Amino acid sequence: MPRQAVPAAEAARRLGISLDTLRRWDRVGKIRTLRDAANRRVVPASELDRLSGRSETDVSARNRFPGIVRSVQVDGLLALVELEAGPFRVVAVITREAVKQLGLEPGSPATALVKATSVLLER
């Protein structure tokens, strides 16, 4: 693998997209990939840097909610994180470890990525 490249699955995770989306982007020329010695797709770090700006043409804005963390309540292995994202309030249950790794605390910037085929609420 080239020194400054990451495996496709890791690149997709860092970009907040699926591996299938990364492959699709590769086919249409939206992202430049290379092949390693085993012919596996890898993504140069420069491509990750280029796409990390998350312009509207790079990633759908419909499922991204940039905002400010308003509260973090840790209880056992889980944490309840509340994000104020413009007119939206997004609440997520994540692991305690994720809170630590992301450095989430009230006042810090964060982006909620929503990926769901459906959300059902009933009364």
**pLDDT for residue 82:** 96
Give the three-state DSSP class for 5: strand
Over residues 8-39, the pLDDT tens digits come to: 998 888 888 899 999 999 999 999 999 998 99
**What does the alpha-carbon distance between residue 81 and residue 95 come to, in Å, rounded to a whole number?**
10
Structural domain contains residue 114: no
In this prediction, the residues of the chain whose per-residue pLDDT falls under 50 are 1-2, 54-58
Query: Does one domain contain both 82 and 105?
Result: yes
pTM, two decimal places: 0.50
| Distances from the Cα of 115 to the Cα of 25, 31, 44, 64, 65, angstroms | 18, 21, 25, 9, 12
How do strand 78-85 and strand 64-75 relate by DSSP bridges? Answer: antiparallel
Structural domain contains residue 86: yes
Range of 96's domain?
Answer: 65-109
Domain tally for the chain? Answer: 2
